[in-house]
Amino acid sequence: MDKVVVGALVRDGRVLLVHRRPDKRAYPDVWDLPGGVMEAGESELGALARELHEELDVQIATSSASHLCRVTAGPAEGPALLSAWLVRDWQGTPANVAPEEHDDIGWFGLEELPPPAHVLVRTALVDALRGRRG
């Protein structure tokens, strides 16, 4: 089973989401948290730092990351273990430097969050943003 990490970059009560391209096999044409598949030997935070650098050209402060939740996601014939993290500190201005992965990025407040790709991840994120955890 693949292991996937995603990160919620949060600033001023808003979260950065990426819009997955319509031709993606998993979760096409939806807004989601950026991230990707862990490579052999990587820690979750190491993979998260690599993925967010590759996709958004930012350097996260791993010490600012707090774990949100872990869920099994994806199709029954090929599920993945997804681990979501909240990231409050990074260097650089997020940009879409992986157009083969997503076709847009945007900042969303709690009241404007689009329908989630993963309901449990969204619930954990909303709780963290409201100060209930994280």
Domain ranges of the chain: 2-129
In 3D, which of 58, 54, 36, 60 has the Cα closest to residue 97? Answer: 54
The residue assigned the tokens 């820690």 is 43
pTM over 0.75: yes
d(CA 67, CA 3): 15
In 3D, which of 69, 64, 92 has the Cα closest to residue 82? Answer: 69
pLDDT digits (tens, 9 = 90+) for 114-126: 987 888 999 999 9
* pLDDT at position 134: 43
pLDDT digits (tens, 9 = 90+) for 61-86: 999 999 999 999 877 788 889 999 99
CATH number 3.90.470.20 is the correct assignment for the domain at 2-129: no
- Section 12-31 average pLDDT: 91
Contacts of 68 (CB under 8 A, 6+ apart): 8, 84, 85, 86, 121, 124, 125, 128, 134
